[in-house]
Amino acid sequence: MDPYNKLRGSMGFPVDFEVGQAINKYNEAKLKAIYQGCNNYVVKLVCSGGGTTKGFFNGFFYSDSNLILSSGHISGFGGADKYEALFFHGTALAKRCELKLLHLGSFVGQATSSAGIPFNVYNPDVAVLECPDVPPHPPRPFAEVVSPGASVCVVGFKGVDEPQLSISDGIVSYSGMDTMHITAHVDDRYSGSPVLSTQGYVVGMVKAGLGTTIKQVEVVSAQTIHSFLVSKGLPGFKG
């Protein structure tokens, strides 16, 4: 496949059937590779308080350290004061461990979800949690800056009782200084999930989408997360 036709196909312009088929297979192969890699470092987070489960989030290791990134509003969600990571091998629960909440963005105020659950609002909406273990196959600590129109994907656990990762692809529809918007089928259950480029590099993290499945998703940009990590004396992204 020559570079010209590959570029035309990725931009949505017509190409001949054989080239179009090759491009589709190429994109599918990339998404499968990203999905399989995320099985090693994207985890389901459970927050609880008083012995009662308050909510589920997503989180992900971003380097070869034992630090996990997630949404800041996991802190105190519904009165939660305990946070655990669930590791799955396929659909089977492989391990469960308690996390230590290390850092949060600046506290802004409180809000209430559409389900009536109170939560804290932080700026940026980022939490850093410490896990007792380091992932056996850590991710590459790379991030990438993308522009509107770029292809991206979100990988995370989409449901309370869902033991298997899901992947949803889309495009960047808006890119600002601190946040960006993507067009993808993602809802509030994906909060804390990594948003990845077609190279598998982090471009941001899902904030929250209240309600049912939505297509315009607000994302904390990788630049914002990197600046926050560095301000806390932690290793940031590379790239």
What are all long-range contacts of 108-113, with beta carbons under 8 Å and residues at least 24 apart?
Answer: 113/188, 113/210
Q: What pLDDT does 17 receive?
A: 55
Reported as a single tens digit per residue, the pLDDT across 52-91 is 998 899 999 999 999 999 999 999 898 899 999 998 877 7
Q: What pLDDT does 140 receive?
A: 83
Reported as a single tens digit per residue, the pLDDT across 196-239 is 999 999 999 999 654 445 578 899 999 999 999 999 999 999 87
- The CATH 2.40.10.10 domain(s) of the chain lie at 151-231
Which fold, 151-231? Thrombin, subunit H (2.40.10)
* 234 vs 101: CA distance, rounded Å: 14
**Phi, psi (rounded to 5 degrees) for 82:** -135, 135
Q: Which of 193, 162, 207 is nearest to 34 (CA)?
A: 193
CA distances from 170 to 1, 130, 150, 155, 205 (A): 24, 30, 8, 12, 14
What percent of the chain is helix, strand and coil (3-state, nearest 5)? Answer: 20, 45, 35
